[in-house]
Structure 1
Amino acid sequence: MSATLPALPTLEGRRLVVVGAGSRMGRTLAARASSAGAELILAGPDTRKLKATADELPGTPTILALDLADEDSVAAFAGQAGAFDHLVSTAAMPANGPVAELELAAVQRAFAAKVTGPLLLAKHLAGQMREGGSFTFFSGVAAWRPAPGRVVMATTNGALAFLVEALAVELAPLRVNAVSPGIVDSGAWDGMGDGKEAFLRQIADRNPARRVGTPDDVVQAVLLTLTNPYITGTVLHVDGGGRLA
């Protein structure tokens, strides 16, 4: 007689904070989470973008301003958000370019998005996360494949990978994870114009998966970190094997 398998987890009745919900990745996550039954809090610095996301969703998500570079903003957000189950931050503020040309303010913004911001979120919000809750942050393949002009990107993403391990230990039994996307056609490369297609084809030819990623590829991984209670302190690579190529 075969054992009865547990039902696949959903987000029904769960309250999910999406930081960076104005981005294409954030919108995709919000849509999938809403379809899975989650109640949403959309957060980010530009409430106009958050409203655009909210307008695409069923129901009435909560919209709250949040600046990860400002601790007062994080504290105010915590006071408004109330109790919740999961938080996902897709935030990124790249500071790319040769080391000799880097500007300190841009570097600080990059660290705020990936390192100090997540620390502040943990500081101010862990206490109001419900039992079984989790944080999921976005790292990135640059930490495992550094390249000229990407020193800050590699460093911030790498620091975040270690941060989730440390937070997973300190905040236990709350769970803390990271998702590390590779090259994803999320709109970030649209500025390349006619060169975009050739660039993405080159990446696809090199990747073991022989393609580039989509926002939905990444969101599926995020949903796994939210709903699997045995995943913590982990970086889940969603890069088509790009870090190995």
Structure 2
Amino acid sequence: MDLTDKKVVIIGGGSGIGARLAADLTAAGAKVIVAGRTTSPAVDLTDEDSIRRLAEEVGEADHLVSLASAPANGPVAELDRDAVHTAFDAKVIGPILLAKHFTGRIRPGGSILLFSGFIGWRPSPARVVMATTNVAVAALAEALAVELAPVRVNAVSPGIIDSGVWDGPGKQALFEGVAAKNPARRVGQPSDVSAAALLALTNPFLTGATLHIDGGARLA
């Protein structure tokens, strides 16, 4: 499928993986709209009115991508209820409401792409909320693919990606440890994830799938 002149709306694409995807889509000829809390158009996935306004402002679109996240990490005994709610708003409830308000606005051949994460398949202490929301995203992609058909709905699940999130002390040691353990023997790059996202957006026979772009980390 050709992306020339296709309208693609990216939620949370201002940096890292999202910025790379926006650049690759633009290079492929797509018309990219990046929406977020601090961009124009603005959207707040914790606020349904904000999501409704975005859908009305954008109108019809070919593809909708949500990369939004709001981690609520920490031991279960110390979790803050509001932070947990915000994490679910960003990764699960917000995308459900995006689907609600963009239903009927996705053009024929179009799709919705959600972002999960490998921690859902490799849970670890202090990452209970992150693991749960990421697995929920994969289930949501399957459920929406059935309900919204023939609009396609997929998810991408990145592993450890050198996207800027990990910059700081200890980055090199972390990356070396990750590369030593996963079958790909390296950490990922934003280009790896963007390539998978482009596949999900353009393959007309792919729906209800979660693409694991983690170098096999969930198997290690």
The one-letter amino acid of 1:179's match is: V
Q: Compute the displacement of 1:23 (Å).
A: 2.3
Partners of 1:11 and 1:37 within 8 A in 2? yes
Q: Write the distance in 1 (CA, Å) between the matches of 2:82 and 2:126.
A: 17
The one-letter amino acid of 1:200's match is: F
Larger Rg: 1
**Which deviates more, 219-228 or 19-28?**
19-28
Q: Write the distance in 1 (CA, Å) between the matches of 2:99 and 2:46.
A: 14
In the TM superposition, structure 1's runs of 4+ consecutive aligned residues that sit over 4 Å from their partners are none
Alignment of 1:12-27 (within 5 A): 12-27=4-19
Residue 220 (structure 1) aligned with residue 212 (structure 2): no
RMSD: 0.8
Residue 238 (structure 1) aligned with residue 213 (structure 2): yes
Q: TM-score, normalised by structure 1?
A: 0.88
Q: Compute the displacement of 1:34 (Å).
A: 0.2
Unaligned runs of 5+ in 1: 1-8, 48-62
Residue 110 (structure 1) aligned with residue 87 (structure 2): yes
Residue 153 (structure 1) aligned with residue 153 (structure 2): no
Q: Write the distance in 2 (CA, Å) between the matches of 1:104 and 1:176.
A: 30
Q: Write the distance in 2 (CA, Å) between the matches of 1:112 and 1:233.
A: 21
Secondary structure of residue in 1 paired with 2:185: coil
The one-letter amino acid of 2:25's match is: A
Name which of 20, 24, 42 aligns with 1:32.
Answer: 24
Q: Compute the displacement of 1:197 (Å).
A: 0.3
Q: Deviations over 1:190-239 (max 9, x none)?
A: 1xx33110011100000100000011100000000000000000000000
Q: Write the distance in 2 (CA, Å) between the matches of 1:26 and 1:109.
A: 20
Aligned to 1:136: 113
Aligned to 1:45: 37
Q: Which has the higher contact order (CA 8 A, sep 6+)?
A: 2
Alignment of 1:28-107 (within 5 A): 28-47=20-39, 63-107=40-84
Q: TM-score, normalised by structure 2?
A: 0.98
